[in-house]
Amino acid sequence: MQHRLSRLILTTRARIALAMSVVLAVALLAGAAPASGTSTTHPKPTIVLVHGGWADSSGWNAEIERLQKDGYPVIAPANPLRGLGSDAAYLRSVLQSITGPIVLVGHSYGGAVITNAAVGVPNVKALVYIAAFAPDQGENLAGLVTMNPGTQLTPDALLERPYPLPGGGTGIDLYIKESVFREAFAGDVPRSTTRLMQATQRPFSVAAFTELSGTPAWKTIPSWYLVATEDHAIPPVTERFMAARAKAHVEEVAASHVPMISRPKATTDLILKAAKATR
């Protein structure tokens, strides 16, 4: 009986020792190798692409395709185009749902939206302006677009259509007239494309055009700017002024107001430069 008890004790001790050895080996391996799903390099930032007035997110299709091919997570949310304050608040809510670093890109009016939306969102690491407004506090689009001669988006180029406001009253939407759309907005894009762009343009509220901008994010977040030298919507001299004021890394491209459509490689290359600078 005593002999059998001794054998049982020895067997139990051996099993305990083996189990402890396995636990120790697993612990050592866990400490030596990165956990599953992690990397020793910094993660690629999420690229958030924000369209401007009279447009939708499909204008970014070429950029999205290349960025995704290069392994970047991308989101191109719909910009409501209802008012600068509310549009920025909506975009900020999207940004706050994203974990990890963000490169925030805006075209045209989208630049004003990212300028306001990025304030107080610490994981926005770079701002990229594509032929975009980069307003300072107290400025609006109406003032910036007319500060220098050259814009073809004059009052007589626009149609006004009233719409009911949710709380009562009437708002005014702006549309670019068919007769001036291509020359003013996208002169280097095929006519077959600009006809579709004009017919499907989204309504752009006067409130978005006239509301005053708040504290600009470009004062604290590194910025990049693509100047479109053939822009007939925002005069290139105004684009250069806004880029210099924001201390942005500036590149220029011979393009109309929509370089993301007519010059997608130049646009994507600048976005990638900003993205690589955050890693």
Considering the domain boundaries, does residue 65 fall inside one?
A: yes
Mean pLDDT for the stretch of residues 177-183:
97
At 23, the pLDDT band (50, 70, 90 cuts) reads very low
Using the predicted structure, report yes or no on whether residue 20 has a pLDDT greater than 60: no
Mean pLDDT for the stretch of residues 196-200:
98
Considering the domain boundaries, does residue 198 fall inside one?
A: yes
Considering the domain boundaries, does residue 116 fall inside one?
A: yes
At 144, the pLDDT band (50, 70, 90 cuts) reads very high
Q: Which residues contact 228 (CB under 8 A, 6 or more apart)?
A: 130, 131, 234, 236, 239, 252, 253, 255, 256, 257, 259
* Number of domains the chain is built from: 1
Q: How many CB atoms lie within 10 A of CB 127?
A: 28
Mean pLDDT of the chain: 89
Considering the domain boundaries, does residue 18 fall inside one?
A: no
Considering the domain boundaries, does residue 13 fall inside one?
A: no
**Angle, vertex CA 146, rays to CA 143 and CA 151, nearest 5:** 140
Share of residues in the chain with pLDDT > 70 (%):
85
CB 218 within 8 A of CB 117: no
At 174, the pLDDT band (50, 70, 90 cuts) reads very high
| CATH for 117 | 3.40.50.1820
Considering the domain boundaries, does residue 17 fall inside one?
A: no
At 2, the pLDDT band (50, 70, 90 cuts) reads very low
Considering the domain boundaries, does residue 118 fall inside one?
A: yes
pLDDT digits (tens, 9 = 90+) for 99-132: 999 999 999 999 999 999 999 999 999 999 999 9
Domain interval for residue 58: 46-277
pLDDT at 41: 63
Considering the domain boundaries, does residue 7 fall inside one?
A: no
pLDDT at 100: 96
Ranking 33-37, 154-158, 159-163, 206-210 by mean pLDDT, the lowest is 33-37
